[in-house]
Amino acid sequence: DTAVSQTPKYLVTQMGNDKSIKCEQNLGHDTMYWYKQDSKKFLKIMFSYNNKELIINETVPNRFSPKSPDKAHLNLHINSLELGDSAVYFCASSQDRARGPGGNGYTFGSGTRLTVV
C-alpha cells in the first residue's frame, strides 16, 4: 500500500527520557514534515525537509532534532522529554511542496501519540 507510515503509534515514557519517532513514505514525494497536534487539536508545523535538506525549522526547543537520511524517511528524536511534549505527532509528505494546479495536498501518517508521565 502506498502511504505515509509512522512508528510507534503509541509511546508512553517518563520525563527526562529520550525517544525517537520514525516516518517513511513510499509515495515518491519530495517533501516531508513533522506536525504537532495538541490536546485542543491545534496542528502546528515543526520541521520540513525537501530532498534531505531542512527547509522549515519552526521555533521548537532544540531538544527536538529531525533527521532525514533520504527523501523517503524523516525521523524525530526528542531528548529530555517534558510533560508539555505530550501530544500527537504527525508526519506528512507532499510532492512539489503542494504547489500548482492539481496538487494533491499533504498526505499524513496515522500519528504517534506521545504521553510523558
Partner 1 sequence: QQPVQSPQAVILREGEDAVINCSSSKALYSVHWYRQKHGEAPVFLMILLKGGEQKGHDKISASFNEKKQQSSLYLTASQLSYSGTYFCGTLRNQGGKLIFGQGTELSVKP
Question: What residue ranges bind partner 1 (CB under 8 A)?
Answer: 33, 40-45, 48, 55-56, 58, 90, 97-101, 103-111
Q: Cβ 46 to partner 1, closest distance in Å?
A: 10
Q: Cβ 17 to partner 1, closest distance in Å?
A: 25
Q: Closer to partner 1 at the Cβ: 77 or 113?
A: 113
Compute the C-alpha angle 59/61/63, nearest 5°: 145
Q: Cβ 40 to partner 1, closest distance in Å?
A: 8
* H or E segment to which residue 12 belongs: strand 10-13
Q: Closer to partner 1 at the Cβ: 12 or 15?
A: 12
Q: Which distant-in-sequence residues (6+ apart) come within 8 Å of 29 by Cβ?
A: 71, 93, 94, 95, 107
Residue 45 main-chain phi, psi, to 5 deg: -70, 140
- Can you name the residues that pair with 36 across neighbouring β-strands? 44, 89
Q: Closer to partner 1 at the Cβ: 58 or 82?
A: 58
Name which of 64, 77, 71 is nearest 22 in CA terms. 77
Residues in the chain: 117
Q: Cβ 35 to partner 1, closest distance in Å?
A: 8
Q: Closer to partner 1 at the Cβ: 44 or 63?
A: 44
